Amino acid sequence: MNFNHLRSFYYVGKYLSFSEAAKNLYISQPTVSIQVRKLEEDLQTKLIEQLGKKIYLTDAGKRLYNYASEIFKLTREANLMINDISDFNIGQVLLGAGTTAGIYLLPELLGSFKAEYPKVEIKLQIGSSKYIIQRLLDNEFDFAVIGEGLVIDLDLISQSITKDELVLIVSPNHPLATRHAVSILDLCNETFILRERGSSSREIFENAIVKNNIKINVAMEFNCVEAIKKAVAANLGISVVSNSSLKLEKQLNVVASLKIKDLDLMRNIYLVYHKDKEFTNIIKNCIRYITLGIEN
């Protein structure tokens, strides 16, 4: 079934006139006549009958007209949908993030982005950097925000959008809590509660430790920063977490945070995306919001 022919037929059915149909299709009347005839030949069915000068739809014509009507209505709706996307009246941003970025950096930024584009769906999925990278390769995210530390696949492009410092946290009751300075060697005798391998914080910290030929004692691994902070607060061990995750804990003095002398725990936060990805406008806008907003 040829849709140009169907459209001509539909207009003839609508106006019950070939010339009126042609006018409204902005084509010539003979074209309409030919197209309708071709449709009839194609279907081997008379669709239109002309009694004297008047035009009527046959039974088959009436039935087909109803189908055509629905088809062209759907077409109009599809066009509106496309316009809605470019007007940001619909759309989506599929976003992956590592734990730190997803929990402590992005929510606020995404909130204000959403305020400007209220009709756009934002789907944020938080996971370990390793997991996020895998999902990026499967094109399940438009882009992602993760911490430095993992080998990034060659098919992915990453660019630093801010820096984030990891700090040592201890219970206020812990001996280190009152120390002005902590050195690398102070860490050797401590019990650590760390994030799992594959998380950016863990990789960064572990790499730094290894570079200094130090061995530490990891008692527990949690895949959740909040759980780690609770455990540290209860003095079950000490940890190294993103400074940006400690706002409330510092205010309420539930943990003490310290810098470790001679250990560079500053890491980059990367915006990562597939090298072949072409961003739509809404994604570009979202990235702009994040990259500009994250610096403050």
Partner DNA sequence: CCTAACTATAGATATTTTCAATGGTTCTCT
Partner DNA sequence: AGAGAACCATTGAAAATATCTATAGTTAGG
Enumerate binding residues for its own copies (CB under 8 A): 1, 3-4, 43-46, 49-52, 54, 56, 58-60, 63-64, 67-68, 70-71, 74-75, 77-79, 81-82, 85-86, 90-92, 139, 155, 274, 276-278, 280
**Gap between the Cα atoms of 105 and 294, Å rounded:** 7
**By CB under 7 A, what part of segment 28-47 binds DNA?**
28-31, 33-38
Partner touching 43 among its own copies, DNA, none, CB below 5 to 8 Å by kind: its own copies
**Gap between the Cα atoms of 122 and 135, Å rounded:** 16
**Least Cβ distance, residue 17 to DNA (angstroms):** 4
The two three-digit tokens of residue 196, written as one number: 């799992």
Q: Which is nearer to DNA, 20 or 221 (CB)?
A: 20
Q: Which is nearer to its own copies, 91 or 237 (CB)?
A: 91
Partner touching 53 among DNA, its own copies, none, CB below 5 to 8 Å by kind: DNA
Pairing of strands 92-97, 121-126: parallel
Q: Which is nearer to DNA, 24 or 183 (CB)?
A: 24
**By CB under 7 A, residue 75 contacts DNA:** no
**Least Cβ distance, residue 74 to its own copies (angstroms):** 5
3-state helix, strand, coil in the chain (%, to 5): 50, 25, 30
**Least Cβ distance, residue 94 to its own copies (angstroms):** 8
Partner touching 58 among DNA, its own copies, none, CB below 5 to 8 Å by kind: its own copies
- Sign of the dihedral defined by the CA atoms of residues 9, 11, 17, 20, in that order: negative
**Least Cβ distance, residue 52 to its own copies (angstroms):** 6
**By CB under 7 A, residue 13 contacts DNA:** no
Provide the β-strand partners of residue 36: none
**Gap between the Cα atoms of 96 and 144, Å rounded:** 4
Please name the amino acid found at residue 276. Answer: D
Pairing of strands 48-51, 54-57: antiparallel
Q: What is the 3-state secondary structure (H, E, C) of 59-77?
A: HHHHHHHHHHHHHHHHHHH
Q: What are the residues binding DNA (CB under 7 A)?
A: 2, 4-5, 17-20, 26-31, 33-38, 50-55, 155, 276
